[in-house]
Structure 1
Amino acid sequence: MANHKATKKDVRQAAKRRERNRYQGKTTRNAVRDLRALTTAKDAAESIPTVISQIDKLAKKGVIHKNKAANLKSALTKKVQALAK
């Protein structure tokens, strides 16, 4: 365990950030799963902006890599466009 006051604070902050990142990551994964499960174009078109926004926020904070975010958004957009046809 850390001995310095600042290091103890850093440990507390890291735990908070890790917990927040886990929650946001899991929430986004669930949203992606739900979007993939949709079968109607209207529902998918309504929910894709929020899912893409969540993915962008994770990439901005460094929770996921920016290329992974781009790949996810691309795949989801393709899926939604395929439903529209």
Structure 2
Amino acid sequence: MANHQSAIKRIRQSEAKRGHNKFYAKTTRNAVRKLRATTDKEAANELLPTVTAMLDKLAKINVIHKNKAANLKSKLALHVNNCK
């Protein structure tokens, strides 16, 4: 166990950040799944900006890599364009 007060505080901060990051990453993954499952063009067009914003936010705060966010957004845009 940590012996210094600063180390104990750092552990608390890390746990809080981990919970925050885990929540937003999981929420975004679920939104991506929901968009991929959508076959209706109108519904997909409504969901795409929301999911894109979520991915951008995760990339901005370094929860996911910016290239991963770009790849996901690209694939999702292709999916939405190919919906009937």
How many Å apart are 1:41 and its aligned residue? Answer: 0.4
Partner of 2:73: 73
Distance across 2 between alignment mates of 1:46 and 1:9: 42
Partner of 2:37: 37
Partner of 1:58: 58
Structure 1 alignment gaps of length 5 or more: none
RMSD (Å), alpha carbons = 0.8
1:25-58 superposed Cα distances (whole Å, 9 cap, x missing partner) = 0000000000000011000000111100000111
The AA in structure 2 aligned to 1:60 is K
Distance across 2 between alignment mates of 1:53 and 1:10: 30
The AA in structure 2 aligned to 1:19 is G
Identity %: 54
Structure 2 alignment gaps of length 5 or more: none
The AA in structure 2 aligned to 1:27 is T
How many Å apart are 1:83 and its aligned residue? Answer: 1.2
TM-score (norm 2): 0.96
